Amino acid sequence: MNTRLDRQPAVPPRFDASGLIRFHVQGEAIGWLEPDTCAFLQALSPRFTGRGPQLHLDAAADQIEPQLERTALAMRDAGLIRGWRNERYTCFAPDAHGWPDLARPLFALERAAFRRFGLTSRAVHINGHTADRQLWIGRRSASKAIDPDRLDNLAAGGIASGETAEHCVVRELWEEAGVPAEIAGGFRYATSLRSTRNEPDGTHDEVLYCYDLLLPDDFVPCNTDGEVAGFARLSIDEILSSQEAFTVDALMATTDFLRRQDWV
């Protein structure tokens, strides 16, 4: 018998663009900036110019990336960007629907800067399930810069610059859950979701590529990179009663899985 998905987070996070300034690069609207961030950028360099409710980076195509790299470092030194990762994401021009057009990369930038600029990032989320209708759920390490100690999918992570989503799936499955390649290769793409919300460090805007992976009954995940504190094999009822403990994005991916599988 299916279970109703009748428990939702008390205050579902939403995106409110009022008071934010649209950030443009090469004529493309790619981000969202807070007024204080705009003031910082304009004081930092004359290349950042305000035009009504917009801020533009006026730079030649080959100067965009180095300019933003210098800017991100200055923002880090000023305390506007925290949790520096020394990893880079690619920012793509938007397509007609506002989603990343993977055929039109604009620049690569330190991943920790994406929220402060309100840029669209991309990530994979893998729902690891068993034949008896349970899900393996991870608990994020207490030392994580984002959402420490929250519940998460079996594996999830941002897609690095130059990396394919499929490569990211296999990499994250091994790093976060110790899933060997012969098992990880059974992943199946399911859907793409969009998660956009206001955060204290800027705007979180991320495309979630969701994958399903049927795990052998005797497989037990084991973290290899220190980013996951542990795993639990949860029933549907246990998941539904723990929704408030999940990260926002993991809850989106998990509840989408439950609905797609007709488990709820």
Structural domains in the chain, sorted by start: 21-117 (3.30.750.160), 122-260 (3.90.79.10)
- The pLDDT of residue 10 is 41
Please state, for a pLDDT cut of 90, what percent of the chain lies above it: 92
Q: Tokens at residue 84, please? A: 């520096």
Residue 93 and residue 101 in contact, taking contact as beta carbons nearer than 8 Å? yes
**What tens digit of pLDDT does each residue of 28-81 get?**
999 999 999 999 999 999 999 998 899 999 999 999 999 999 999 999 999 999
Give the 3-state secondary structure of residue 37.
helix
Residue 178 and residue 230 in contact, taking contact as beta carbons nearer than 8 Å? no
- The pLDDT of residue 7 is 53
**What tens digit of pLDDT does each residue of 143-155 get?**
988 899 999 999 9
- With a cut of 60, say whether residue 1 has pLDDT above it: no
**What tens digit of pLDDT does each residue of 164-199 get?**
999 999 999 999 999 999 999 999 999 999 999 999
255/193 Cα distance (integer angstroms): 12
- With a cut of 80, say whether residue 122 has pLDDT above it: yes
- The pLDDT of residue 9 is 43
